[in-house]
Chain A
Amino acid sequence: MTDFLNAIVALSNFVLIPGAAYGAQLALGALGVTLIYGILRFSNFAHGDTMAFGTMATILVTWGLQSIGISFGFLPTALIALPIGIAITGLLLLGTDRAIYRFYRKQKAAPVVLVIVSIGVMFVMNGLVRFIIGVGDVNFADGARFVINAREFKEMTGLDEGLALRSTTLITLVTAAIAVALLFWFLNKTRTGKSMRAFSDNEDLALLSGINPERVVAVTWLIVAALATTAGVLYGLDKSFKAFTYFQLLLPIFAAAIVGGLGNPLGAIAGGFVIAFSEVLITYAWKKVLVYLMPENLEPSGLVQLLSTDYKFAVSFAILIIVLLFKPTGLFKGQSV
């Protein structure tokens, strides 16, 4: 019995909790991608760098706050800085839209042209982030490190296996839940949110109904700024901030959005968790859990790791290919343009 509990604790500690946090971060990122796809109808390659920019803006504000002695108690200061970071990112995205994307929208350019344009934007944003904050690792998490740490947990329960709940994990889950709830409330209950869904569903009819496309697009960019910055800050708090890592997040985020069904917000969330848990499950060394469950003579000798963690991209990729082959519109029905 204790073995079984130990196994559960080990599983939660190394698989379930980290997987859930990572899934929430991916889901927020994929929501941004899917909204842009639904409203502006292109795959935004600059999304990873938008996340990096938002996080950088938040970090700079955090440093500013810290330097004047403001902190958030046991919570990270970055959470106070987050709204300001979102506002800065929102301004950047609105400016980008005004200066760059709007021209192609007026021309009714093909989606692939917009994708290439977004690659140009990606270069600029990437350069901007590297220029301002550099290429190194930045750790900006302060406040309490753990809600429960492994030692306390062991003492509390008397189990051999410790369960550590890092505060950043909890913050990630709570913040992501709030963000998603707000987003869905906005999309389903407000006039502007509904007009966004209408625009995404049927652009021509939305115009006939008097919905102002420029307003819908502007609101979309603002929401994307909020989602991307939140996703980026949560990821950075949980791990650390590095410009290149954020660029690489593009792949699992796109995979999540496509697996869920591009243009479908519910799908993006489901996709985020599917991708995150698959990555963690397949790259986790199962020995730790199995030693408690198997009889002693059958205990595994190796790590029982299906793939090395360096292959986590391969996991997102494999899931992506499987979904594309069997259900090209994704798990939830997405748009097919």
Chain B
Amino acid sequence: MTARGFLLYAGMALLIVLTGVFQGWNLALTILNMGLISAIMSLGVNLQWGFAGLFNVGVMGFVALGGLAAVLVAQPPVVEGWNAGGLRLLGALALGAAVLIAAVQVWKRKIGGQMRAMVMLALLIGGFFLFRAALDPAVNAIEAINPSLSGYLGGLGLPVIVAWPVGGLLAAGAAWIIGKAALGLRSDYLAIATLGIAEIVIAVLKNEDWLSRGVKNVVGLPRPVPYEVDLQRDAGFVEAAAGYGLDPVTASTLWVKILYSGLFAVVLIAILFLAQRALASPWGRMMRAIRDNEIAASAMGKNVTARHLQVFILGSAVCGIAGAMMTTLDGQLTPGSYQPLRFTFLVWVMVIVGGSGNNYGAVLGGFLIWWLWVMVEPLGLWAMELITSGMAADSWLRGHLTDSAAQMRLMTMGIILLAVLRFSPKGLMPER
């Protein structure tokens, strides 16, 4: 890292500290924790865009898949649900997968064009109805069981930390499918394809109640850290807190957040370390060579599409890990809260502002933009109050402006993105 980099990181740390001093440490730690997660997402996108020039606007989908992993791994299994139709459901899913694989196999056979297309189409349509016939009763049976509290299959009941790598794997799987279809085509097509898959992932989470309880949300996910109430009952903890002059409630809240920060920081540093190693390795050099001149690279015998697929899967997996961590931090999966502006395009702002192609830059961008995202709202409200202070208290415009201050966020992010692109297109920490 350069001296400029150290200064920027020191400035970022200062911002968080100042937030702690002026607005309370609870908020500062909340920002820090989401900042750590954002930094990981930003690293994932930087792998794809900064290293390989791949334009992925489906970050939200991969993040949500990570969230799903948290539910599937950590929630206790719902035995009644499994008894009602669990196996049948798995069978139906296997059937669906088999139909798809068969269709792909048919397509790969070199037989007469018309015939091949017809067979494949027949297989897909017939398979779809079979799949629905097998799936629907199982789903109905599962969802009928105590719908207000469960109505789904639950998870494996494993420690929630396990969900983090699993979230990466789920995202990687989705990335493999989408990459197979859209990589090697024009860059805009990958963008649209990823935009689509993200919406589909969210639609699945919202509708497949047996899987994720849909819009009824899964709450109360197990935690990797102790609960505040338990800490408050722990005499040793209360004593230690008193030693710092803190009451047990505040101390426990802060301590839980600090524990999360520690866990997240370990993951971030590990991924950052790996990403740096990858960037400096022959593989990383090759990736950048491909990014800078695809034609020359393929003329040198590099399989561009295969390399792109690799890096696309890796970057998406990183986003999946971050998604699982985020759901763990929230303690709940709420499919309705996934918004592309927040989970896809904001991550892009982080990467561009931080400096695409530079891992440290991406991490810095993650922290800085997240900090701004949180702070713009109070700042906007404050600015609006300043602007409207001269107006009559009951004026329509004053009310409207103050109410709309919350919407300043998106505009601010857009203006920041446009300003960076225009005046410092390489970002705060340029690649070289």
Direct contact of A and B (CB under 8 A): yes
A308 touches B418 (CB 8 A): no
Q: Is the CB of B181 within 8 A of A321?
A: yes
Asked if residues B413 and A310 are in contact (CB atoms below 8 Å), the reply is no
Determine the distance from Cα of A42 to Cα of B55 in the docked complex, in whole angstroms.
13
With A and B bound together, what is the CA distance between A320 and B421 in angstroms? 30
Assembly CA distance A255 to B414 (angstroms) = 25
- The answer for the CA separation of A108 and B422 in the assembled complex, in Å, is 14
Residue of A nearest to B177 (CB): A321
The count of chain A contact residues (Cβ–Cβ below 8 Å) is 51
Chain B contacts of A314 at CB under 8 A?
196, 199-200, 203
Q: Tell me how far the C-beta of A193 lies from the nearest C-beta in chain B, rounded to whole angstroms.
A: 25
The docked-state distance in angstroms from the alpha carbon of A111 to that of B187 is 9
> Is residue A333 within 8 Å, beta carbon to beta carbon, of the partner chain?
no
Asked if B55 contacts A115 (CB within 8 A), the reply is yes
- CB distance A127 to B412 under 8 Å? yes
Closest to B128 in A: A306
A43 and B200 within 8 A (CB): no
Q: Which residues of A contact B132 (CB under 8 A)?
A: 306
User: Is A311 within 8 A of B200, CB to CB?
Assistant: yes
Q: Are B410 and A43 in contact (CB under 8 A)?
A: no
Given contacts A126-B341, A247-B341, contact A117 B192 (CB under 8 A): no
Q: Report A312-329 residues with CB < 8 Å from chain B CB.
A: 313-314, 316-317, 320-321, 324-325, 328
A131 and B413 contacting across the interface, CB-CB below 8 Å: no
Q: Which of B199, B407, B417 contacts A317 (CB 8 A)?
A: B199
Is A165 on the interface with B (CB-CB < 8 A)? no
CB-based contact B341/A43 at 8 Å:
no
Contacts of A251 in B (CB 8 A): 192, 195-196, 199
| Binary per-residue interface labels of chain B (185-216) against chain A in the complex, 1 for a CB within 8 Å, 0 otherwise | 11111011101110110010011000000000
CB distance from B59 to the nearest CB of A (A): 12
Contact A126 B185 (CB under 8 A): no
In whole Å, how far is B417's beta carbon from the nearest beta carbon of chain A?
A: 4
Residues in chain A near residue B200, CB distance under 8 A = 311, 313-314, 317
Check B182–A113 contact: CB distance below 8 A. Answer: no
Interface residues of A in 88-117 (CB under 8 A from B): 100, 103, 111-113, 115-117
Residues of chain B lying within 8 A (CB to CB) of residue A121? 414, 418
Contact of B421 among A117, A127, A316 (CB under 8 A): A117
Contact: A248 with B341, CB < 8 Å?
A: no
Contacts of A124 in B (CB 8 A): 410-411, 414-415, 418
Smallest beta-carbon distance B376→chain A, Å: 10
Q: CB-CB < 8 A to A258: which residues of B?
A: 189, 192
Please name all residues of chain A whose beta carbon is closer than 8 Å to the beta carbon of B410 when the two chains form the complex.
Answer: 123-124, 126-127, 130
B408 within 8 A of A: yes
- Asked if A127 and B196 make an inter-chain contact with CB atoms under 8 angstroms apart, the answer reads no
Q: Contact between B422 and A248 (Cβ–Cβ < 8 Å)?
A: no
A245 to B40, CA, bound (A): 29
Q: Quick one: closest B residue to A337, CB to CB?
A: B186
The answer, yes or no, to whether B53 is at the interface (CB within 8 Å) is: yes
Interface presence of B338 (CB below 8 A): no
Q: Is the CB of B185 within 8 A of A127?
A: no
Does A64 reach chain B (CB closer than 8 Å)? no
Identify which of B191, B193, B196, B407 contacts A130 (C-beta below 8 A).
Answer: B407
Q: How far is the CB of B374 from chain A (nearest CB, A)?
A: 16
- What is the bound-complex CA distance between A251 and B195, given in angstroms? 7
Collect the chain B residues with CB atoms within 8 Å of residue A20's CB.
none
Task: Determine whether the beta carbon of A123 is less than 8 Å from that of B411.
Answer: yes
B352 within 8 A of A: yes
A336 to chain B, nearest CB (A): 7
Q: How far is the CB of A29 from chain B (nearest CB, A)?
A: 14
Q: A196: which B residues are within 8 A, CB to CB?
A: none
Q: Which of B315-357 contact A (CB under 8 A)?
A: 339-341, 345, 348-349, 352
A251 to B128, CA, bound (A): 24
* A134 and B400 alpha carbons, distance in the complex (Å): 9
CA distance A112 to B48 in the complex (A): 14
B404 CB-CB contact with A under 8 Å: yes
Q: How large is the interface on B (under 10, 10 to 19, 20 to 34, 35 or more residues)?
A: 35 or more
Q: Is the CB of A254 within 8 A of B195?
A: yes
Q: Which of B53, B182, B199 sits near A324, CB closer than 8 Å?
A: B182
Asked if B409 is at the interface of the complex by the 8 Å CB criterion, the answer is yes
Q: In this assembly, does A86 line the interface, its C-beta being within 8 Å of a C-beta of chain B?
A: no
Cβ–Cβ contact B188 & A115, under 8 A: yes
Does the CB pair A316–B196 fall under 8 Å?
yes
| Cα A119 to Cα B56 with chains together (Å) | 13
A250 within 8 A of B: yes
A21 CB-CB contact with B under 8 Å: no
> Does B203 contact A250, Cβ atoms closer than 8 Å?
no
- Contact call A313/B418, Cβ cutoff below 8 A: no
CB distance B341 to A123 under 8 Å? yes
Say whether B348 contacts A324, CB under 8 Å. no
- Expressed in whole angstroms, the minimum distance between the Cβ of A98 and any Cβ of chain B is 13
Produce 1/0 per residue, B43-60, CB < 8 A to A.
Answer: 000000000010101000
CA distance A112 to B291 in the complex (A): 13
Given A254-B192, A321-B193: A119 and B417 interface contact (C-beta under 8 Å) = yes
- In the complex formed, the residue of B with least CB distance to A328 is B185
CA–CA, A258 to B207, complex, Å? Answer: 28
Report whether B195 and A123 are in contact in the complex, using a CB–CB cutoff of 8 Å.
no
B-facing mask of A236-280, CB < 8 A → 1, else 0? Answer: 000000001001101100110010001000000000000000000
Q: Of B187, B199, B418, which contacts A117 at CB under 8 A?
A: B418
- Report the separation of the CA atoms of residues A314 and B340 in the bound assembly, to the nearest whole angstrom: 16
B212 to chain A, nearest CB (A): 13
- Give the chain B neighbours of A182 by CB distance below 8 A: none
**Chain B: minimal CB distance from A93 (Å):** 15
Interface contact A336-B186, CB-CB below 8 Å: yes
Decide if A113 touches B421 in the complex (CB within 8 Å): yes
Known: A121-B414, A337-B186. 9 other contacts (CB 8 A): A117-B418, A121-B418, A127-B413, A130-B410, A251-B192, A251-B196, A258-B189, A310-B203, A314-B200
Q: Which chain B residues have a beta carbon within 8 Å of chain A's beta carbons?
A: 53, 55, 57, 128, 132, 136, 181-182, 185-189, 191-193, 195-197, 199-200, 203, 206-207, 339-341, 345, 348-349, 352, 403-404, 407-415, 417-418, 421-422, 425
